[in-house]
Amino acid sequence: MTEYIAFLRGINVGGHGAVTMTDLKKAFESCGFKNVKTIATSGNVAFSTTMTEAAVVKKAEAALKKSFGSDTPVHVRSREELREMVQADPYKGFAIPTDAKRVITFLEPSAKTALKLPHHQDGTSILTIKDGVAYSAYAQNPKGAVFMKVLEQAFGKRITTRTWDMINRLVK
């Protein structure tokens, strides 16, 4: 069995009119996944299965559609892949301001970009892409979360982004 983490895009967990953590857990259990645990109210779900990542994505997206009625992009990585990602430290070698927030963006397998990397725009730096993940950093901006607009312009809307701190917590 492989231990996976699913990263969900655009699912309202825990807020007003939101999907409850219990309902989210039930949706993943309905796929036959084992040891299902929701993580905080982050739209992340840990579980175990013998399925491949591609099969997990297909099954989880169908279960979420059936349970909640909306298309929810699901990005999946094994806990071991995340551990290797953290150990490789894809940010080393880049000059990142100390006040910048590091984020990773899970991309669709077919995602392509014409951007020359590193790409700097509106306080956001898309630094590198490796194995379907874009590594970025952004500075606080008085206009709000413009970094998401930069990422969506580059990669489309079927992405999901997490902080580097969250990825580090998930592997511990």
Kindly report, residue by residue over 115-167, the tens digit of the pLDDT.
899 999 989 999 999 999 999 999 887 777 789 999 999 999 999 999 999 99
Residue (of 70, 45, 159) closest to 107 by Cα position: 159
Q: Do 147 and 119 share a structural domain?
A: yes
pTM, two decimal places: 0.92
Are 67 and 103 within one domain?
no
Question: Residue 133 sits in which domain range?
Answer: 89-171
Query: How many domains, in total, are found in the chain?
Result: 2
- Same domain assignment for residues 98 and 158: yes
- Tens-place pLDDT, residues 51-64: 999 999 999 999 99
Domain containing residue 54: CATH number? 3.30.70.1280
